[in-house]
């Protein structure tokens, strides 16, 4: 007896994509009790004809989400489904691992601490641990800020090759907001060279006036930068070297701790930090 739950019904919402819904319905039909299906089985689950179901099944198989056994004429879930699950679990694992470490960092420095990942030319904020001082901030979880003008973004861009960096920004003329740097693609490349081997990246007021920020990379098991952390605090001084060396060390130490908890190894650095 088929114990799979009924599939969600399609609504009249004009923004829904019927083909995508059918594909998701097919994938949701596979359960531990229902691991294999023929094309006829899929058609019955979708409430459609075999010919209509074939295009959905064929597309899923071509993209690796289904595997087809010619001998039995049955379909099973493919390896691409695992990649989707891994992406979700990896992101969730990153947040769960980083949160207690960022809380320790905040408590040790009393600076606000954040975790971000790169989203194209932006840095997406995934965690925010505000300082006990309760200072207002323009960022919150879900904020997307220009990568080139923020410390976490600079950390994430520094892991790209120069060709990838140019490719990312050359599609449209690079232009930062007035008063912010870098102001051109050539300045961006120069900044990228300075950031490449930095243990931590420090800047004051480049993106947000009167705010000091220090960031460091988080790496995966292959040594790739998968995220960045930073701390921020109101800064009355305009000199980078006025920021305590102890705060920089705490940021680098926390990034290394998160890296190790993810199974990676921090990359040895040839320099203490890059500034702007």
Domains in the chain with CATH codes: 18-77 (1.10.10.10), 87-275 (3.30.450.40)
pLDDT at 2: 46
Q: What pTM was estimated for this model as a whole? A: 0.65
Angstrom distance (rounded) from CA 263 to CA 222: 9
From CA 13, how far away is CA 68, in angstroms rounded? 33
Determine the Cα angle at 149 with ends 143 and 154, to 5°. 90
* Whole-number pLDDT of residue 136: 55
How high is the pLDDT of residue 262? 86
Residue whose entry in the numeric block shows the structure tokens 């990649």: 83
Please say whether the beta carbons of 131 and 247 come within 8 A. no
Three-state SS sequence of 80-127: HHHHHHHHHHHHHHHHHHHHHHHHHHHHHHCCEEEEEEEECCEEEEEE
| CA-based max dimension of the chain | 73
Query: What size, in residues, is the chain?
Result: 276
Burial of 36 (0-12, 13-18, 19+ CB in 10 A): middle
Extract the tokens encoding 45. Answer: 């689950």
Taking the C-alpha atoms of residue 147 and residue 22, their distance in angstroms, rounded to an integer, is 37
- 8 A C-beta contact, residue 123 and residue 117: yes
pLDDT, tens digit only, all 276 positions of the chain: 444 444 444 456 778 888 899 999 999 999 888 899 999 999 999 999 999 999 999 999 999 899 999 999 999 998 888 767 656 656 678 899 999 999 999 999 999 999 999 988 899 899 999 988 766 566 788 888 999 999 999 999 999 999 999 999 886 555 555 556 677 889 999 999 999 988 889 988 766 677 889 999 999 888 899 999 999 988 765 566 667 788 999 999 999 999 999 888 777 655 556 765
Q: Give CA–CA dist 236/34, Å, rounded.
A: 64
**pLDDT confidence of residue 129:** 93
Are the C-beta atoms of 203 and 273 separated by less than 8 Å? no
By the 10 Å C-beta count (0-12 exposed, 13-18 middle, 19+ buried), 160 is classed as middle
Instruction: Check: CB of residue 248 under 8 Å from CB of residue 200.
Output: yes
């Amino acid at each position: 007896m088929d114990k799979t739950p009924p599939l969600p019904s399609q609504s009249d919402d004009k923004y829904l994509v019927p083909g995508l819904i059918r594909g998701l319905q097919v994938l949701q039909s596979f359960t531990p009790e229902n691991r294999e299906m023929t094309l006829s089985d899929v058609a019955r689950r979708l409430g459609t004809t075999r010919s209509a179901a074939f295009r959905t099944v064929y597309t899923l198989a071509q993209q690796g989400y289904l595997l087809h056994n010619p001998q039995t004429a049955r379909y099973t879930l493919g390896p691409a489904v695992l990649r989707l699950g891994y992406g979700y679990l990896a992101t969730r694992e990153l947040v769960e691992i980083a949160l207690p470490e960022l809380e320790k960092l905040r408590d040790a420095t009393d600076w606000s601490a954040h975790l971000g990942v790169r989203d194209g030319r932006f840095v997406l904020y995934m965690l925010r641990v505000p300082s006990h001082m309760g200072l207002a901030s323009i960022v919150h979880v879900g904020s997307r800020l220009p990568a080139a003008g923020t410390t976490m973004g600079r950390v994430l861009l520094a892991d790209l090759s120069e060709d990838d960096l140019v490719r990312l920004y050359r599609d449209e003329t690079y232009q930062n907001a007035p008063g912010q740097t870098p102001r051109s693609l050539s300045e961006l490349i120069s900044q990228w060279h300075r950031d490449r081997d930095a243990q931590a990246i420090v800047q004051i007021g480049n993106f947000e006036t009167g705010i000091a920020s220090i960031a460091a990379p988080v790496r995966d098991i292959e040594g790739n930068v998968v995220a960045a952390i930073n701390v921020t605090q109101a800064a009355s001084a305009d000199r980078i070297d006025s920021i305590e060396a102890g705060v920089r060390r705490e940021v680098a130490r926390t990034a290394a701790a998160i890296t190790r908890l993810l199974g990676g190894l921090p990359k040895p650095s040839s320099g203490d930090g890059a500034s702007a």
